[in-house]
Structure 1
Amino acid sequence: MKLTGPLLLLVLLAVAGLSRAQVKTSLLDLTNSIGSILPALSRPANHSRIFYAVMFDAGSTGTRIHVYTFINSDSAGLPVLDNEMFHSIKPGLSAYADSPEMAGHTVRMLLKVAKKTVPRLEWKRTPVILRATAGLRLLSPDKAQALLQQVQHVFDESPFLVPDDSVSIMNGTNEGILAWISVNFLTGHLKAQTQTTVGILDLGGGSTQITFLPKLRKTIESVPVADYVARFDIFNSTFELYTHSYLGHGLMAARLATLGALGAEGLEWRVFKSSCLPKKFRDEWSFGDLTYQVSGDPDGYAGYKLCYQEVLKVVKGIIHQPYQLQDSNVFYAFSYYFDRAVDAGLIDGVQGGKLEVRDIKKRAKEVCNKMTKYPPISSFLCMDLTYITCLLKDGFGFKESTVLQVRQLNTA
């Protein structure tokens, strides 16, 4: 099952009127920012039951465009999502931190998808919005702003409707909340009669998020700081979520930290080694706007135990463990959780599947301990699977028996 990502909620929340809810986080500002497009969405100027919206998700490893087709419902409820056209381009905008005009070129290329999908007569009524995530949050404010200005220029010269605040960086809390609302709405868990919800785990390139509705009050009372809790009203219900985004702990950023390359200088002559890589492996690897020389340790040892020790340093003492993650809390895991599980042959690449944490651990051991004789498809698969195992067990504190619903989500 493929689930539509949180950017869809930028439209649905506006139509539902969530921007008028008493939200105690900056989610209110996010939903207010699209209030100006509400008339275009809820009352199309052409009185047609069909209307469109164009959303850009600018992640750390790629930029994605979602072109949504909605059918206006006959009732006062939410419109029906009729179709989604999805396309992506790599690398992410952050890779052009020193040449921001290339970011504009990327968005301009993706807008061609929108022009082919949305009828020409609807262009001027179709809103276009971009939300950037961890890739731009990791950049300096000046470089991030230069990239956003280039995108804004491309939007302004396009034939589409450009709302106020159409281009901005979404903070990690909003990212987690919107993903949680999206998944629970689309899976029917936000209906008034429903007593249960599902948690979400999202692993991007630059950041990772965990969001769930705690069953125990102590989970909320024992958070390290107040911003781990988000309280808001939606659909006549009040929710108090445990939610946090860890910037710098997405899968690509974790590779950097494991290699000891975070903030390193002299990249043109340094080689960063790891026991998580095949001993004879050596290559260039790029993330953001930098390129690194990486290799295995030809004179040392490789394998799961040594790799786990390396990635544990990235996780231990940094990732907060919620007071109690009940076994009855169902969690959906997305993004790189899905991609690496597919790469490891653990789930179907279309339907996804259920995995216990111990399944990921077992496969990580197999890949790491056999990579000398049987090189994996990706030289980083051992490191990635080990990091995911460590993040779930020693980071968030999940039991090995915890079952995750690993699904594809069209997001960062």
Structure 2
Amino acid sequence: FAFTKASLFLWVLKKDGSSNASPDILPEVLLEVSHPVNLSHTFYGIMFDAGSTGTRIHIYTFIQKDPVELPVLDNEMYHAVKPGLSAYKDKPEEGGNTIRALLKVAKKTVPEDEWKQTPVVLKATAGLRLLPKEKANALLDEVREVFDESPFFVPNNSVSIMNGTNEGVLAWVTVNFLTGHLYAKTRKTVGILDLGGGSTQITFLPKSKKTVFTAPASYIANINMFNHTLQLYTHSYLGNGLVAARLATLGALGADGLDWKVFTSSCLPKKFREDWTFGGITYKVSGIPDGYAGYKLCYYEVMRVVKGIVHQPFEVKGSSIFYAFSYYFDRAVESGLIDGSRGGMVEVRDFKKRAKEVCNKMTKYRPISPFLCMDMTYITCLLKEGFGFKDNTMLQLAKKVNNVETSWALGATFDHFNNLNIH
């Protein structure tokens, strides 16, 4: 698994030969690809991301141009279905059918003569981590059956619940790989912030030893790349994903008496009241009809979900750039903070400013989502009070980089073909 600087950039060169590599290394890249190459062989990888709010399939096409070099990522086919597997906790067969439907997409994408050697892997995240063990296992067993009857190659341990550390590390690998930051001996990488439905991750390569020394031991992960070990700061907070945080804010997480209890919040429009389902459980939620609503009160409510729970790494107060995706991106688009087709750079203070606007004009934003005030306030609180980011920290909000989804799925496929030995 030895790389040269240029060989890794072959990974991020697109079909048209364009690159997102930084200008100072582009001549080296162009030099590398200007030699005639034999397009020796194309291969595929299928990665299922079974999240708390949906199941996604990523089908990657790789081209191996040279047996000793890294393959090039040619393209990605992406498809998603809702709800997530955890919603089928009492009907595992129906959960299995959602996987069957997605495998049909894979059969159309991967040529038939490649099916037998194309690995199919499913990794589940917080939705299944939050379920009782026997219910999660029943769902995983169902997926294994679906895989076994498929024409694709099923590796050992192809269906599993991924631990949160790997989720953060592999998302970091994906983003740094796609942005061209992953090459030998670099210290110039970007951090990642991933906000799912059930959990949230932060991962970055520390520049300061103090970050490593002051972090809880389990927050430092070693990853084997370029024949040497990178030490990453990474943690996954289970229960601090956006949707789980709504439940925690409402006081509904783990509550009983769901048939008759109504969970209220000043983060919701005063006249709002409806049944809301997450993970196959239905909750009655409402605003406070004769009370107050708005940003200040809402901030106070969501603070309890964050304060003292999220560790503040020593160096996030610095000027590093973080890529933020999943619900960070979705809510920024819904609240009008960024353009959905382009993404964009924002500062942490922009989330705060927009959260205030949304919360103080809830009726205007209610058609988009009655939860938008709560969600935007939670994101603001998580970034500021949780991770400890400064108001002027820059966040690059992106759904895709070079037309590939920003998620842990590419990193996990990469790990499948080249053991990264994360520990």
Shared fold (TM-score, shorter chain, > 0.5): yes
1:130 alignment partner, SS class = strand
**CA 126–232 in structure 1, closer or farther in 2 if over 3 Å, else same:** closer
Cα offsets for 1:104-158 (capped at 9, x unmatched): 1110011110111111222112111101111111111111111000000000011
Cα offsets for 1:205-229 (capped at 9, x unmatched): 0000001111221111111x31111
Residue aligning to 2:146: 154
1:350 aligns with 2:341: yes
* Cα root mean square deviation, aligned: 1.7
Give the deviation of 1:77 after TM superposition. 1.6
1:397 alignment partner, SS class = coil
1:270 aligns with 2:261: yes
Note the residue ranges of structure 1 that are not aligned, 5 or more in a row: 1-12, 17-46
More moved, 369-378 vs 313-322: 369-378
- Aligned mate of 1:54, from 46, 56, 66: 46
- Aligned mate of 1:227, from 212, 218, 240: 218
**CA 271–68 in structure 1, closer or farther in 2 if over 3 Å, else same:** same
1:177 aligns with 2:172: no
Give the deviation of 1:326 after TM superposition. 4.2
1:86 aligns with 2:78: yes
Residue aligning to 1:338: 329
Provide the C-alpha distance between the structure 2 equivalents of 1:123 and 1:173, rounded to a whole number of angstroms. Answer: 31
Residue aligning to 1:405: 396
Residue aligning to 2:68: 76
Cα offsets for 1:324-349 (capped at 9, x unmatched): 31433111101000000010111121
Residue aligning to 1:289: 280
1:325 alignment partner, SS class = helix
**CA 347–374 in structure 1, closer or farther in 2 if over 3 Å, else same:** closer
Give the deviation of 1:262 after TM superposition. 0.6
Residue aligning to 1:243: 234
Identity across aligned pairs (percent)? 71
1:205 alignment partner, SS class = coil
Provide the C-alpha distance between the structure 1 equivalents of 2:256 and 2:186, rounded to a whole number of angstroms. Answer: 53
Q: How does 1:361-372 map to 2 (within 5 A)?
A: 361-372=352-363
Provide the C-alpha distance between the structure 2 equivalents of 1:406 and 1:373, rounded to a whole number of angstroms. Answer: 24
Residue aligning to 1:30: none
1:324 alignment partner, SS class = helix
Residue aligning to 1:199: 191
Give the deviation of 1:194 after TM superposition. 3.3
1:132 aligns with 2:124: yes
Residue aligning to 2:30: none
2:361 maps to amino acid: K
Provide the C-alpha distance between the structure 2 equivalents of 1:57 and 1:373, rounded to a whole number of angstroms. Answer: 34
Residue aligning to 2:248: 257
- Aligned mate of 1:388, from 379, 395, 398: 379
Residue aligning to 1:316: 307
- The number of aligned residues is 367
Relative to the length of structure 1, the TM-score reads 0.86
Provide the C-alpha distance between the structure 2 equivalents of 1:240 and 1:103, rounded to a whole number of angstroms. Answer: 37
Say whether the 8 Å CA contact 2:65–2:71 is kept in structure 1. yes
Give the deviation of 1:299 after TM superposition. 1.1
Give the deviation of 1:195 after TM superposition. 3.2
Give the deviation of 1:48 after TM superposition. 5.9
Say whether the 8 Å CA contact 2:365–2:372 is kept in structure 1. no
Residue aligning to 1:29: none
Provide the C-alpha distance between the structure 2 equivalents of 1:184 and 1:237, rounded to a whole number of angstroms. Answer: 17
2:64 maps to amino acid: N
Cα offsets for 1:334-392 (capped at 9, x unmatched): 10000000101111212210010110100000010111466351100000000000000
Note the residue ranges of structure 2 that are not aligned, 5 or more in a row: 1-7, 12-38, 409-423
Runs of 4+ in 1 over 2 A off after TM superposition: 192-195, 372-376, 409-412
2:163 maps to amino acid: N
Provide the C-alpha distance between the structure 1 equivalents of 2:131 and 2:185, rounded to a whole number of angstroms. Answer: 44
1:324 maps to amino acid: E
Relative to the length of structure 2, the TM-score reads 0.84
- Aligned mate of 1:115, from 100, 107, 126: 107
- Aligned mate of 1:97, from 66, 89, 93: 89
Provide the C-alpha distance between the structure 2 equivalents of 1:373 and 1:78, rounded to a whole number of angstroms. Answer: 51
1:125 maps to amino acid: Q
2:314 alignment partner, SS class = coil
Residue aligning to 2:420: none
**CA 222–157 in structure 1, closer or farther in 2 if over 3 Å, else same:** same
1:178 alignment partner, SS class = helix
